[in-house]
Amino acid sequence: MSKIICSAAIRGAQKIIDMAESSYEDAVKKYGEDKEVSFPNTAYFLPIIYSMLGAKVEKLGDMKDIFLECRKLMPPVVTGDIWLPYLAPALDAGMATFFAEEMYEAIRYLNEPGLYTATEDPTADNFWLGAADDVIFRKRGVEFVDGSAPGFAAILGTPKDPEMAAKIAIELQEKNLYIFMHDQTEGISLPDQLLKQKQQVGWGTRLVPFGREYTTAVFAIGFACRVALAFGGVKPGDYAGNLKYNKDRTFAFVMAFGEVSDEWYANAAGAINWGFPTISDYDIPQILPTGVCTYEHVVSNVPHEEIVQKAIEVRGLKVNVTKIDIPMSFGPAFEGERVRKDDLFMECGGGRTPGVEVLISKEMDEIEDGLVTLEGLDISDLERGQNVPLGILVEVAGREMQSDFEPILERQFHHLMNYIQGIMHMGQRNIMWLRIGTAAVEKGFSFKHLGKVLHGKLHQEFGAIVDKIQVKLYTTEEGVKMVSDLATSVYTERDLRLGAMTDETEDVFYSCTLCQSFAPSHVCVITPERIGMCGAYNWLDGKASFNINPTGPNQPIEKGECTDEANGYYTGINEFVNQASRGAVPEVSCYSLMNNPMTACGCFEAIAAMLPTCNGIMVVNRDYLGMTPSGMKFTSLAGMAGGGMQTPGFMGVSKHYMTSKKLFKAEGGLKRVVWLPKMLKEEIAEKLKEVCADIGMPELFDMIATEEQGTTEEEIYEFLKEKGHPALEMETAV
C-alpha cells in the first residue's frame, strides 16, 4: 500500500480520535456517564461498533471502552526509515476512525439536536438529514437485497461546476445507485450544487444528504452494516461476516472531489475494510494492486466526465441498464420524485380530468408488437395549464399469457411511469393521476413516450409470458370513455374472479423464498386469502412468478390434506416448509399466531403480538414510531418476529391480511384484535368495517383501541371492559 496514503490515514485517524475523545470528555462533564446516546429511532445502537465489536453503546459511559479499543487499533506513525506492509495498519486506523466518528456523531445528537432533520426529505431550511431511522432503513434497506439498488456512492465534497455535479448525480441515479452525500469542497456541498440545478434531494430520489462534515461518512457505512445485520443474517460482533457480506453484496464506493485531507484518507482507509474502493478527481497516490477490494483500492486523477464509469468498473458492479428511447433520464431513482405546483406543466386524471389505465390480453394475431398510437392532442399541442383526459390501453399477447396475470402486469404501470424523470404517477385503474413537469416538456416529452416505456419495460420484466405488446393512448373524451367502459367491465370480472378464490377452492398454494439469502430458514406460504407479509406478493403473483421463472423463489405447494382446519395445518405445506427450511421449521400453521406461526424475514408491513392481560392481539405497522401496549416499539418487536424463527405470540403480517377471513382464525379471528395504531386503523377502515359487519358485529370497529385510548396493557384493558370487547370473554389464548 502507498506509504504516503498510509501515513496520511494514520495521521487523520489520530486527529479524529483525539477530537472525538475530547467531545466525549466534555459530554460526560455536561451530562454524566448515564446519559443515553443513540441515533434516533434506530434498533442497532451505534451500528458500526455494534456490528464489528458486538458492543451496545447505550450510554455515554459505554464509550470509554470503545475509545480504548480505538487506541489499541492505532498503529505507530509511519517513519521515513521503516518500510513495512502498510495495508493492515492503515485498515486498522480506518476502522478506529469509524468507531471514533460514530461516537462523535452520537454526541452531536445530544449537543445539537436540530442539526439534522431526521426526515425522509429535506425541510425548507435544512437539507442535512442525518442517520436514517428504522422506518426509512426498512423501506430502503430491502432494496439492497432484492437488487433494485445494487449499492451506493458515498461522496465527499463536490465538483465546483453545478452542471457537472448534477450530471454526475443523474448518471449515478441511472445506474440505480443511492448517492450518500457528505462534507464540502471549499465551502460548497453537493446538495448545494444539485439544488442550484433544481434537482430534488432526499431518500425519494436516492440523493441523500447525510451531513455537512466528513464524520457523517459513518451514516453511510453504518447503513451498510445495518443491511447485513437486518437482512443478511449476520450476527453482532461477527466482523468478518459483516465485511464479507458487504464486499460481496453491497456494491458501494467512495467518490472524493477536491483536495484530500488526512481525515478523508482515514475515512477512505476505513471504507476499504468493507471492500469499498475510493475514486478521486484529485492528484493523489494510487493503490492499484488488488487485495481487500475486488479490484483497485484507490484510483485518482479521474476526469469528471469519466468518474462514474470508472467507479463502476473499479467496484466490479455489473449494471444492466437498457436504454429507453425517451428524451429524459429513466430509472428507479426517479420514482420518488415529485412534480410540484411551480414545476407543473399539465396533469391528467386525479379528479382534474377523466383518467383511466388498463391492460388486457389478446390473441397473438391481434397485436402488432411495438405499436404505440395516440388519438387526440399531444403535449406539444397544449399550453401550460391546459389539462386533457387520458386513457391508456395496453394490449398484450403471449403463448404463456393468462388472464390471471393481467392485474400483475397492470400493477407495474405505476412504478414504470414514475421511473421517468419529471413525471409523477399516482393511483391506478380509473383513479390514476399523471402530473407532467415543465422540464420534461422542454426536453420534448410526448404522451407516446409513456407507451415506449411500458412496451420496453414490460418486455424486459415479463418476457417469459409476454411476446407482443401494443399501447394505445387517447386524449379525446370519446376515446377515454371507450377505454373507461372497457376497463369497468374488465375490473368487475377481475375482482369477481379474485374475490371468489379461497384457500378451500385452490389445491395449490405458493412459496416465497426470496428473502432466504438473509433469513435462511424463512419460507413464506402465500394462499388466496393470505398475501405475503411484505404486502407485495399475492397468490396470483406467485402463480405468475412461477410461470415466468419455474426455478425461482415462488414454487407451487400442493397443500395436501388439512389435518387441522382452525390452525391451518396441511400435510403438503409442512412437508414443503420442512424441506425448504432445511429442517429448521418442521411444522407451520397458516392461521395461528400462537401455534407454530409462520416465520418472517424482516420485510413485513406489520407485526402481530399477543397481549396476555387483554387476552387479545395487537397489530402495529412499520410506520408507527410510538410505544405499543406490548411494552415495545416496532423496532424491538421486529427482533422477536423476524430472522426466520418461529416465536409463538409474534408474527409478521401484511396490512391486507387484516381484513382476511383467515386472520388469526385459530385464536378467534378479528374478534381477538384489541389494538391498532390510529394510522393503520384509518387506512383499512372501510374494508375493516365491512368485515365487522360480515361477522355480525358492526360495533367491533369502535371497540378496537388505538394509541388515543392508551399504550399500556392496563389502559387498553380498561377501555376493552368499558366497551365490552368480545376478547375478554373468549377462551384464554396463551
pLDDT at 70: 97
Tell me how crowded residue 370 is: count the other CB atoms within 10 A of its CB. 14
Grid coordinates given for 268: 477512505
Give the residue from 575, 568, 603 showing the smallest Cα distance to 589: 568
Q: What is the pLDDT of residue 518?
A: 60
Secondary structure class of 155 (helix, strand, coil)? strand
pLDDT of residue 388: 95
CB 512, CB 537: distance < 8 Å: yes
3 state SS for 659-698 = HCCCCCHHHCHHHHEEECCHHHHHHCHHHHHHHHHHCCCC
Q: φ and ψ at 445, to 5 degrees? A: -65, 140
What is the mean pLDDT, run by run of 10 residues, along the chain of 734 residues? Answer: 80 97 97 96 93 97 97 80 64 97 97 94 94 92 86 97 96 93 96 95 96 97 95 93 94 96 96 96 85 87 93 78 78 84 91 92 87 96 94 91 84 88 85 91 95 91 85 96 92 71 93 76 91 81 81 90 95 94 92 94 87 96 92 90 88 91 95 96 92 96 96 96 96 76
Q: How far apart are CA 571 and CA 588, in angstroms?
A: 10
Neighbour-count burial of 452, counting CB atoms closer than 10 A to its CB (0-12 exposed, 13-18 middle, 19+ buried): middle
Could you tell me if 642 and 634 are in contact, meaning their C-beta atoms sit under 8 angstroms apart? no
**CATH 3.30.1650.10 residue ranges in the chain?**
338-495
Q: Given the C-alpha cell 365490552, which residue does it identify?
A: 724
Q: DSSP code of 126? A: B
Residues carrying CATH 3.40.1470.10, the chain: 508-729
- According to the model, what pLDDT value does residue 62 have? 97
194/527 Cα distance (integer angstroms): 46
CATH dotted code for 3-315? 3.40.50.2030
* Residue 415 φ/ψ, nearest 5 degrees: -75, -30
pLDDT of residue 84: 46
From-to residues of CATH 3.40.50.2030 in the chain:
3-315
Walk across the sheet containing 556-558 and list its strands. Answer: 524-526, 508-512, 556-558
Report the predicted TM-score, pTM, of the whole model to 2 decimal places: 0.68
Tell the CATH topology of 508-729: 3.40.1470
Q: What is the DSSP letter of 657?
A: G
Task: Note the pLDDT of residue 713.
Answer: 96
Amino acid, res. 136: I
Cell 407495474 belongs to residue: 412
Side-chain half-sphere of 564: how many Cα atoms within 13 Å?
16
Whether the CB-CB separation of 57 and 106 falls below 8 Å is answered with yes
The H or E element that residue 569 is part of is strand 569-570
- Distance, CA of 78 to chain centre: 43
Per CATH, which fold does 338-495 belong to?
A: 3.30.1650
Q: What is the pLDDT of residue 196?
A: 95
Q: At what angle do helices 217-231 and 239-249 cross, to 10 degrees?
A: 100
Residue 460: Cβ within 10 Å count: 12
